[in-house]
Amino acid sequence: MSIVVENITKLYGSQKALDSVSLHINKGEIVGLLGPNGAGKTTLMKILTCYIAPTSGNATVGGFNIFKNPLEIKKIIGYLPENNPLYLDMHVPEFLLFVAGLYKISHKRERVKEIMEITGLWPEAHKKIGALSKGYKQRVGLAQALIHDPEILILDEPTSGLDPNQIIEIRSLIKELGKKKTILLSTHIMQEVEAICNRVIIIHKGKLIADGSPSKLDTLFSQQENLLVRFERSIPMNSLLKLKSVEFVTKVDNNTYEIRTNNAEECSKQLFMFAVENNVTILSLQKKQLGIEEIFHLLTKEQ
């Protein structure tokens, strides 16, 4: 089941939340949707789940058109919205049975038991949803998104409010689900993207500005390279900044520095010459790959 977006634009009055966004997500992909607050991520998800309509453009989800077949789309997707609306006066199994009934699931009690096991909700089964921690409420939201075994999952901040152990468990679950389902998730946690996503889409000010695997995005900045250099003793950073090929210096610890350069080979030569002239030994020198967090910052920072 694929997702196809064609020139989607969404206006709220004079504000353009999405600006001619086009993308194609294939079956079996786990796609991370990144962007600063207000970039348009949630708006795009609401359009794909048929909660709101675009101002212009079109989209299909699992082969169904968002204008012509909204009910068919809602049958095949599982959606965890950003604000995770729940019936707080219901007990966890009661709520999930209610949702299973809406989807007309046969053997719904067995399915609720299964999904509570998958999402780790049994320890809190006796409580009303309103009495749960934020992390367990998030699990209930994920459980309702999974209850009908959808072919496409759209998850808006799925690990929000979870503790470190819960985050690892939910990430593992999402990764396992991605073997059979198409998953689009938004997150602000860069490590999450690197851990579970095989593709990254970055939106900024309503525009799609990057699309590709994490390793492919790294090539966008192949002209900008980072070196990690460790000296035998501390060096004044301003002396390193005087080297022609050095653009920026960050002190990692007492004797280690991260240097941004547009020519790693030339910068390495200059560092060795610097060491000789200042009678200091270089203990290690290596190239550092840009991570998703650094790529995101470079793409979305204000010029």
CB 286 within 8 A of CB 211: no
The answer, yes or no, to whether residue 299 has pLDDT greater than 70, is no
Neighbours of 17 (CB within 10 A): 24
pTM of the model: 0.74
**How high is the pLDDT of residue 27?**
87
H-helix or E-strand containing 209?
Answer: strand 207-212
Count Cα atoms within 13 angstroms, Cβ side, for 289: 8
Instruction: Give pLDDT tens digits for 195-234.
Output: 889 898 889 889 998 888 876 665 555 456 788 899 999 8
Q: What is the mean pLDDT of residues 261-287?
A: 90
Q: Summarize pLDDT for 89-106 with one digit per residue, the tens.
A: 999 999 999 999 999 999
Q: Where are the domains of the chain?
A: 3-212, 220-300
Domains 3-212 and 220-300 in one fold: no
Q: pLDDT tens digit string along 184-196? A: 999 877 778 888 8
Contacting residues for 250 by C-beta, under 8 A, at least 6 apart = 257, 258
DSSP 8-class letter at 121 = -
3-state secondary structure of 104: coil
- pLDDT-derived band at 67 (thresholds 50, 70, 90) equals very high
Give SS3 for 40.
coil
* Best CA proximity match to 35, nearest among 181, 218, 185: 185
Dmax over Cα atoms in the chain, in whole Å? Answer: 78
Domain 3-212 has CATH 3.40.50.300: yes
| One CATH from 3.40.50.1980, 3.30.70.1560, 3.40.50.720, 1.20.58.1000 for 220-300 | 3.30.70.1560
